[in-house]
Amino acid sequence: MSPFKNLIAATAILLMLSARTSGDSTSPPPHQARIAELLARMSLQEKIGQLNMRGGGQPMDVNPGMRDQNLNELLGEIRSGAVGSLLGANGADYINKLQRCAVEESPHKIPLLVGNDVIHGFRTIFPIPLGEAATFQPELIERAATVAAREARAAGTNWTFAPMIDVCRDARWGRIAETAGEDHYLGALMAAARVRGFQGDRVDAPDRVLACGKHYVAYGAPEGGRDYNTVDVSMQTLHEVHLATFHTAVRAGVASMMTSFNEINGVPASGNEYVMRTVLRGDWAFGGFVVSDYNAIPEMILHGYAADRADAAAKALRAGVDIDMCGFAYRDELAGLVASGRVSEKLIDESVNRVLRAKASLGLFESPYSDSSLEKRTLLAAEHRALARDIARRSMVLLKNNKELLPLPKSIKRLALIGPLIDSRRDPLGTWACYGEDQNVVTVRAGLAAALPQTEILTARGCDVRGESPFGVDEAVVAANAAEAVVLVLGESEDMSGEGHSRASIELPAPQLALAKSLFDTGKPCVVVLLTGRPLAIPTLAESAGAILCAWHPGTECGHAIADVLLGDFNPAGRLPATFPRATGQIPIHYNHKNTGRPPTADRYTSKYIDVAWTPQYSFGFGLSYTTFAYSDLRVEPATVDADGSIRISVNVANTGRRDGEEVVQVYFRDPIASRTRPVRQLCAFERVAIAVGQSKCVEFSISADLFAFYNWDMKRVVEPGEIELYVGGNPADGLKTSVQVIDAIAR
């Protein structure tokens, strides 16, 4: 069995990861004696300072005098011990200046945590996390996180606000771009991979950073897909879907957690003692620290949960929030709360202890400074760009390829390259590419021009990404008519998805759709490339385009990676981590839905629509290749299994096409009869395998019966006896079927 198969077998979402975790409480944490001695010497105000995060950047849109004044104010606060961590500071020299003030001039010489949003790369930008998840290769995403950590640490950052672990089944929500999509099993594996990549075996190594699992919890399930909105989920769904991914991150050793903006069943996350004290600290024995999201503690007032800033600070601290991110409620209110007896200083000590332990784990007390000479040598290194290019092309999902239009022949004489994104440098970086730089991005035009030096490439924008109407359709039609084939680049600008960018409609903007229809009417072979931060509703493209390649927002190496796939230098094998609906009105839509008492049929009184098919346009797990694969000889051993046992699955996969390629072999299960209704499919294993033309491989998986568990009516996690159906294939809808019998039950 390969290491990756062992990884899948070992990563049963709740129980099967190794015990290398921040919550391991069997022995006292390192440096504890030193921290206890330091804590005993600190005043109450100095302790509160360690729980206060403030902005640390220098805005470039103010005059130099104002920047100097802002910096002097910041240094004054650091010098007094009023700041324990910074948000947004960047650059080794600048951060070293701030650290020097902390460790040489503050009362107890305590270094700073410097946190930044290193979400999918630092200077070298990888595909958005949703795109990274489409690779179905967690071990590759671990390497991407390792590169991101190396670049960030070289520039002075020692803490990243990633991975984002939220599960999202509503593509209207802008932050789906930052997630691993709709499936909690895939999301759990991606989360664990990113934690390992950021933190490594020793987080005090000079090329590692503290990871932060966010947003705890259920932020990805807002009503109406509207960012920051109310979340109302059953306790079973909360545990089985949303908490499950975070538990995996804890077992992988994540150093910190960030609370979410939303409420959970009536209680805002930043004041929710159940999810933080009972589950995170209690059930999971999490030993790391918790930070609020930006200003989330005072926002509990607007939620209607806290009376004022003092009440918000008290409720957050009691719930278990250790650091107040730029809300300043702790800074302003905690001393008074202690004086009035509403908050115990012991509770503050517990939080400060966790923050100091994190700083000690990074080695900041011994080595607080970054080597500024590393910064230029590390950022955007050639090997980093090479990995970014490889992951970008592995993330791309071929959605349609009518009459084998792709790959395009390199002998093509005239190619029309059309669309509002063909020359964009910023948009391919996607959301939260904070330290990526536009000038480093390879555009789609540049990538194709480099790969086709003998081809005449005729270009036209055709329209804006948004806007009211197309302005250059006639020019685009002329270019198409003069070419042998058309590559049409459509989709979203980087600011059409991400935080605060929810959309009521995920259809293509009207100008883009009008442009596409005009080009389809020319009759020329048309390949659509989608640059997007979310699934889109694209029924017109699905019907009329010759081929569709979903490239997501692919990052720095955008143009090279797209050219590699379009021209056949790389055979695509990405799979959708989130479902593409036929229309926005189908949302929420996800593969692991439940049956109703009236499943969709031709009969009128069944669960469907009258104006659009109830099925998705393209389901989770779907993706095509330039070759074809056939499955045979599915075997499961043993035929019966104890609830605490495991099974072995093997299947033969043959490459029956004309090109070497990769297949993502996927294993799903269904519990057809249970004490609580279960989804029609649930992912429980996968592996991406390379198979040469005419060859076949026996792909094997070891699957714990614990993956079949769910929470019953009494909120006990159970594996029930009975038949479990198993499906193995290239997506949830197809493949071979077998079953296994669970012969006893377990309740935890």
Q: Using CB atoms within 10 Å of the CB of residue 60, give its burial: 0 to 12 exposed, 13 to 18 middle, 19+ buried.
A: exposed
- Angle, CA 492 vertex, CA 491 and CA 495 arms, to 5°: 175
Please answer whether residues 575 and 623 qualify as being in contact, where contact means their C-beta atoms are separated by less than 8 angstroms.
yes
Q: Omega before 303 cis (within 30°)?
A: no
C-alpha angle with apex 262: 257 to 266, nearest 5 degrees? 115
| Alpha carbons 444 and 451: distance in angstroms, whole number | 11
Helical H segments across 304-443, by residue range: 309-319, 329-340, 345-361, 372-378, 382-395
HSE of 140, CA atoms in CB hemisphere, 13 A: 23
Residue closest to 539 by CA, chosen among 609, 623, 620, 617: 617
How large is the angle between the packed helices 244-251 and 184-199, nearest 10 degrees?
30
Nearest to 674 by CA among 245, 240, 184, 182: 240
Please state the φ and ψ torsions of residue 361, each to the nearest 5 degrees.
-65, -30
For 166-178, the DSSP string reads -----TTSGGGGG
Phi, then psi, of 656 in degrees rounded to 5: -100, 10
601: tokens are 């049929």
Instruction: From 362, 354, 418, select the one nearest 35 (Cα to Cα).
Output: 354
Upstream peptide bond of 577 is cis (omega within 30 degrees of 0): no
Token pair recorded at residue 12: 């049963």
Angle at 168 between CA 5 and CA 736, to 5 degrees: 40
Mapping DSSP onto H, E and C, the string for 491-511 reads ECCHHHCCCCCCCCCCECCHH
293 classed as catalytic: yes
The catalytic position among 183, 293, 390, 427 is 293
Sequence-ordered list of residues with C-beta below 8 angstroms from that of 156, at least 6 positions apart, any chain: 89, 90, 91, 92, 94, 95, 96, 114, 370
Report the candidate in 577, 582, 498 with the shortest Cα–Cα distance to residue 536: 582
Are the CB atoms for 217 and 265 separated by under 8 Å? no
Residue 411 Cα distances to 404, 448, 456, 483, 672, angstroms: 16, 13, 11, 13, 53
**Strand, helix or coil at 26?**
coil
Q: How many CB atoms lie within 10 A of CB 34?
A: 12
Map tokens 């790969």 to a residue: 451
β-strands 547-550, 397-401 pairing? antiparallel
Q: What are phi and psi of 724, to 5 degrees?
A: -115, 120
**Catalytic center residues:** 293
